[in-house]
Chain A
Amino acid sequence: MSLLRYTVYRLLQAIPVMFGIAVVTFLMVNLAPGDPVDYMISEELASEELIASIEARYGLDEPLWRQFLNYLGFSWFLGLLGVPGFADAPPGLLQGDLGLSMYYDRPVSELMLTRIPPTLMLVLSAYAFALTLAIPLGVVAANRRNKPTDHISRIIALFGVSTPSFWIGIMLIVIFGVWLGILPTGRMVYPWRDPAFYGYGNHLELWYQTLRHLFLPVVALGTLQMAVIMRVERSSMIESLQSEYVQLARAYGVSERTILRKHAFRPSQLPVITLIGLNLTTSLGGAVLIETVFAINGMGRLIVQSIQTLDYQLILGTTIVLGFVFVIGVIITDLAYAYIDPRVTYGEEA
């Protein structure tokens, strides 16, 4: 199987999962006891007509299965095919339409569009931070197994996985923002905006300021990932160092340095890659808290707002999209895995 074929294969495999995400979220939101319309209007104002008109506007007057088909965008297709009863069905998920936010009264997709980049920026930077620290630390710890360096880095990693990220965020704000006052703690700036918007002279300054603003949230979000990746890197490196091919390299006079950097290193990255993919969901969840602590207008904050305002459509849309982001992330890491490990694309997939 070539890499291309494998890519197609993985994408096809993702379809049922994405469908599953939509089903699970849709059911959870719609089978919950509350009624969205109740939350929208106060009791005094509630009249039959008002409720009916609101329900009609958001498509809540139809049976649940029909709502689901509408939401996914199947109805739209059925309408296109001329199936009776679906004549003028609205576009849905498949057409990129996630409905209307009840609180903002704007399309959900439009609301999300500006919120996705900050979250991606945050999560990806956190991974960059985590990897640059975790990989060398993990390798060093594995190489000095059961020596002081190893013990110290293991304990640090254990603390890393035991500490809530938002609390780290709060502590960082207290230390760097309040006590030392050397780093900004809120009002994130985004590099894709016009520098003049923030009153900066040029793009270079904007980038510099972005980095400064990003630093604390990235450390807060990245610490957990760093710790987790370091632990896995360490154990997989240890396994790799004990493997027969490393012993063979030793027996042929390859220097320890080369063994560490080449022979043992590359195979040991495989579990790390898998882990990065699977942990994307934890990072996205963590982003919700970090965005709240550092007041970043990303997807996480949008979700929190949507829950505060009980904006059903927005809750549905944001949750599904986060799930999709995860699925796509996993596919990307799987391809990276296949790139490193030639066995994956050979014959049956791993």
Chain B
Amino acid sequence: MSQTTERLDEVETGEPILEVEGLTKYFQSDSGFLAGLFGSDDVKAVDDVSFELRRGETLALVGESGCGKSTLARAILQLIEPTAGSVRFKGVELTETGSRELRPLRRDMQMIFQDPQSSLNPRMKVGPIIEEPMKAHDMYDAAERRERAKELLERVELEREYYNRYPHEFSGGQRQRINLARAMSTDPELIVCDEPVSALDVSVQAQVLNTMRDLQEEFGFTYLMISHDLSVVRYIADRVAVMYLGHLAELAEKEELFENPGHPYTEALLGAIPVPDPRVANARGTLEGDVPSPINPPSGCRFRTRCPVLVQPRRADIDAHETSEEVDTATLSEYGMSDAEWERTLAFTRGVRRRTFALREGGLDEEETVSRSEVETVVEREFFDGTRPDGDPGRVVEEAIALLSEGAWGEAGDLLSTTFEETSICALERPRYTIEPQYGTGTHFAACHHHRE
């Protein structure tokens, strides 16, 4: 068999095959010749993400829609040009390789897409679809390619006879197998799988996952698997990386991550998945609010605006950091609330910011006003339950209540937010910590300030 493209040196199993460092991708939210004129904001889809992938393992990249996981995968494969950072595949820096030189390297890194409907060209037969990558890399002659395509069809548990059929004759699961066969055709080392089973029916998901697993065992593929489904991840992955709004929140070995999550977001995710067992009491631990816009993401830890365990601000932290004038003026000389007080103050802050409560039952008309004591009662009932902080924090809460009684929601929200949220270490510094794993021996990366010494 002739193999014309040269291959890079082999990487031993367990050694890093892909090293991603500080990878960043910003999109322009608007393009075209007038965009410059009107100014357009960057969408910070992926921001300074680093990790490595070892040969033969399955690393899952999980997160909710819009967290940047697909962008990250495409930036790794250079399907979109990264804004910054480096991607080394078997020692070759991909970001500095021109598209012409990159083409032969693509032979070793293939991709599988989410949507089995749109990932196969409807006007091409299955055979040529599978042969296309081999053809692009001048592998084998026509007859050999044909034979190999048929072999691959068998490998993914389809029939050789399907060679001459069109994609629309197949079910979703079968199409995903065809995708798999195409990705395998060049005998790659890395396969990036973008939600490979999420479009499939539950009973078919398991079939495809098992096939993927068997093939990995047989050919030693390395999978980078993008998924939003933690159940699937728990089944197939070796290590798991959790993404939130363009940042890596946590990365650990599977058991460790599921059993000893080190980031409140991971905890929330795990708590939210419905368990297929009515006897398992699931806390469901719901997160408040929506994911913020990636155009203007929160500073520091990006999860902090929804984090249930935001770290209470401390004078020392604020002094140690460069802060904006706004924050400086809002900073209190001392915080020092008890945990219960802090928790409730935080809830009140967010409640005001999101306007989740009404100052009077049934809402207010434009002109109506409420007395200060009325607001006081509502706030007390909704949030504090007799645990209002005193001292400086108490004074700020007081002030916010006064503003609310004037109907100044926005100002009250701003006041509380700058005083209590923007001053937290979580807002001042991007967290990056490595913690001691309880399960297994792999490193456990957790981007949460709770792990601060």
Contact call B34/A12, Cβ cutoff below 8 A:
yes
Q: Does B280 contact A (CB under 8 A)?
A: no
Q: Tell me how far the C-beta of B211 lies from the nearest C-beta in chain A, rounded to whole angstroms.
A: 35
11 A-B residue contacts at CB 8 Å? A5-B38, A9-B34, A9-B38, A12-B34, A12-B37, A13-B34, A16-B33, A347-B29, A347-B30, A348-B29, A348-B30
> Bound complex: CA of A16 vs CA of B33, how far in Å?
11
Q: Nearest B residue to A348 by beta-carbon distance? A: B30
**Per-position binary interface string of chain A over residues 311-350, scored 1 when its CB falls under 8 Å from any chain B CB and 0 otherwise:** 0000000000000000000000000000000000001100
Measured between beta carbons, the chain B residues less than 8 angstroms from A16 are 33
A-B Cβ contacts below 8 A, count: 11
Q: Tell me how far the C-beta of B370 lies from the nearest C-beta in chain A, rounded to whole angstroms.
A: 33
Q: Nearest A residue to B37 by beta-carbon distance? A: A12
**Per-position binary interface string of chain B over residues 16-41, scored 1 when its CB falls under 8 Å from any chain A CB and 0 otherwise:** 00000000000001100110011000
> Bound complex: CA of A27 vs CA of B202, how far in Å?
64
> Bound complex: CA of A16 vs CA of B37, how far in Å?
14
Measured between beta carbons, the chain A residues less than 8 angstroms from B38 are 5, 9
A1-56 residues with Cβ-Cβ distance < 8 A to B are 5, 9, 12-13, 16
Measured between beta carbons, the chain B residues less than 8 angstroms from A13 are 34
Q: Tell me how far the C-beta of A174 lies from the nearest C-beta in chain B, rounded to whole angstroms.
A: 51
Measured between beta carbons, the chain A residues less than 8 angstroms from B37 are 12
> Bound complex: CA of A12 vs CA of B35, how far in Å?
11
Q: Tell me how far the C-beta of B214 lies from the nearest C-beta in chain A, rounded to whole angstroms.
A: 40
Measured between beta carbons, the chain A residues less than 8 angstroms from B33 are 16
Please report the total number of B residues contacting A with Cβ < 8 Å: 6
**Per-position binary interface string of chain B over residues 137-168, scored 1 when its CB falls under 8 Å from any chain A CB and 0 otherwise:** 00000000000000000000000000000000
> Bound complex: CA of A9 vs CA of B29, how far in Å?
16
Q: Tell me how far the C-beta of A12 lies from the nearest C-beta in chain B, rounded to whole angstroms.
A: 6
**Per-position binary interface string of chain B over residues 279-313, scored 1 when its CB falls under 8 Å from any chain A CB and 0 otherwise:** 00000000000000000000000000000000000
Measured between beta carbons, the chain B residues less than 8 angstroms from A347 are 29-30
Q: Nearest B residue to A10 by beta-carbon distance? A: B34
Q: Tell me how far the C-beta of A221 lies from the nearest C-beta in chain B, rounded to whole angstroms.
A: 35
> Bound complex: CA of A5 vs CA of B37, how far in Å?
12
Q: Tell me how far the C-beta of B72 lies from the nearest C-beta in chain A, rounded to whole angstroms.
A: 23
Q: Tell me how far the C-beta of B33 lies from the nearest C-beta in chain A, rounded to whole angstroms.
A: 8
Measured between beta carbons, the chain B residues less than 8 angstroms from A5 are 38
Q: Tell me how far the C-beta of B296 lies from the nearest C-beta in chain A, rounded to whole angstroms.
A: 14
Q: Tell me how far the C-beta of A115 lies from the nearest C-beta in chain B, rounded to whole angstroms.
A: 34
Measured between beta carbons, the chain B residues less than 8 angstroms from A9 are 34, 38
Q: Tell me how far the C-beta of B98 lies from the nearest C-beta in chain A, rounded to whole angstroms.
A: 30
> Bound complex: CA of A38 vs CA of B72, how far in Å?
67
Q: Nearest B residue to A8 by beta-carbon distance? A: B38
> Bound complex: CA of A316 vs CA of B365, how far in Å?
62
> Bound complex: CA of A321 vs CA of B38, how far in Å?
29
Q: Nearest B residue to A15 by beta-carbon distance? A: B34
Known: A13-B34, A16-B33. 4 other contacts (CB 8 A): A12-B34, A12-B37, A347-B29, A348-B29
> Bound complex: CA of A9 vs CA of B37, how far in Å?
10
> Bound complex: CA of A12 vs CA of B34, how far in Å?
8
**Per-position binary interface string of chain B over residues 381-408, scored 1 when its CB falls under 8 Å from any chain A CB and 0 otherwise:** 0000000000000000000000000000
Q: Tell me how far the C-beta of A327 lies from the nearest C-beta in chain B, rounded to whole angstroms.
A: 16
Measured between beta carbons, the chain A residues less than 8 angstroms from B34 are 9, 12-13
Q: Tell me how far the C-beta of B346 lies from the nearest C-beta in chain A, rounded to whole angstroms.
A: 31
> Bound complex: CA of A331 vs CA of B30, how far in Å?
20
Measured between beta carbons, the chain B residues less than 8 angstroms from A12 are 34, 37
Q: Tell me how far the C-beta of A44 lies from the nearest C-beta in chain B, rounded to whole angstroms.
A: 54
Sorted nearest first, the 4 A-B pairs with minimum C-beta distance are A348-B30, A12-B34, A13-B34, A9-B34
> Bound complex: CA of A5 vs CA of B38, how far in Å?
9
> Bound complex: CA of A348 vs CA of B32, how far in Å?
11
Q: Tell me how far the C-beta of A348 lies from the nearest C-beta in chain B, rounded to whole angstroms.
A: 5
Measured between beta carbons, the chain A residues less than 8 angstroms from B30 are 347-348
> Bound complex: CA of A167 vs CA of B34, how far in Å?
45
> Bound complex: CA of A13 vs CA of B34, how far in Å?
8
Candidate in B29, B30, B34 with the most chain A CB atoms within 10 angstroms: B34
> Bound complex: CA of A9 vs CA of B33, how far in Å?
11
Q: Nearest B residue to A349 by beta-carbon distance? A: B30
Q: Nearest A residue to B295 by beta-carbon distance? A: A347
Q: Tell me how far the C-beta of A258 lies from the nearest C-beta in chain B, rounded to whole angstroms.
A: 28
Q: Tell me how far the C-beta of A15 lies from the nearest C-beta in chain B, rounded to whole angstroms.
A: 10
> Bound complex: CA of A304 vs CA of B352, how far in Å?
70
Q: Tell me how far the C-beta of B325 lies from the nearest C-beta in chain A, rounded to whole angstroms.
A: 30
> Bound complex: CA of A348 vs CA of B29, how far in Å?
8
Q: Tell me how far the C-beta of B285 lies from the nearest C-beta in chain A, rounded to whole angstroms.
A: 31
> Bound complex: CA of A128 vs CA of B29, how far in Å?
39
Q: Nearest A residue to B35 by beta-carbon distance? A: A348
Q: Tell me how far the C-beta of A165 lies from the nearest C-beta in chain B, rounded to whole angstroms.
A: 37
Q: Tell me how far the C-beta of B334 lies from the nearest C-beta in chain A, rounded to whole angstroms.
A: 43
Q: Nearest A residue to B30 by beta-carbon distance? A: A348
Q: Tell me how far the C-beta of A262 lies from the nearest C-beta in chain B, rounded to whole angstroms.
A: 27
> Bound complex: CA of A16 vs CA of B29, how far in Å?
23
Q: Tell me how far the C-beta of B440 lies from the nearest C-beta in chain A, rounded to whole angstroms.
A: 45
Q: Tell me how far the C-beta of B205 lies from the nearest C-beta in chain A, rounded to whole angstroms.
A: 26
> Bound complex: CA of A348 vs CA of B34, how far in Å?
12
Q: Tell me how far the C-beta of A344 lies from the nearest C-beta in chain B, rounded to whole angstroms.
A: 13
Q: Tell me how far the C-beta of A346 lies from the nearest C-beta in chain B, rounded to whole angstroms.
A: 12
Q: Tell me how far the C-beta of B366 lies from the nearest C-beta in chain A, rounded to whole angstroms.
A: 23
B25-62 residues with Cβ-Cβ distance < 8 A to A are 29-30, 33-34, 37-38
Q: Tell me how far the C-beta of A1 lies from the nearest C-beta in chain B, rounded to whole angstroms.
A: 8
Q: Tell me how far the C-beta of B256 lies from the nearest C-beta in chain A, rounded to whole angstroms.
A: 40
> Bound complex: CA of A147 vs CA of B32, how far in Å?
46
> Bound complex: CA of A89 vs CA of B404, how far in Å?
67
> Bound complex: CA of A13 vs CA of B32, how far in Å?
10
Q: Tell me how far the C-beta of B28 lies from the nearest C-beta in chain A, rounded to whole angstroms.
A: 10
Q: Nearest B residue to A16 by beta-carbon distance? A: B33
Q: Tell me how far the C-beta of B136 lies from the nearest C-beta in chain A, rounded to whole angstroms.
A: 34
Q: Nearest A residue to B40 by beta-carbon distance? A: A348
> Bound complex: CA of A12 vs CA of B36, how far in Å?
13
> Bound complex: CA of A347 vs CA of B29, how far in Å?
8
> Bound complex: CA of A13 vs CA of B29, how far in Å?
18
Q: Tell me how far the C-beta of B409 lies from the nearest C-beta in chain A, rounded to whole angstroms.
A: 23
Measured between beta carbons, the chain A residues less than 8 angstroms from B29 are 347-348
> Bound complex: CA of A310 vs CA of B37, how far in Å?
42
Q: Nearest A residue to B31 by beta-carbon distance? A: A348
> Bound complex: CA of A185 vs CA of B37, how far in Å?
52
> Bound complex: CA of A100 vs CA of B72, how far in Å?
62
> Bound complex: CA of A20 vs CA of B138, how far in Å?
45
Q: Tell me how far the C-beta of B107 lies from the nearest C-beta in chain A, rounded to whole angstroms.
A: 37
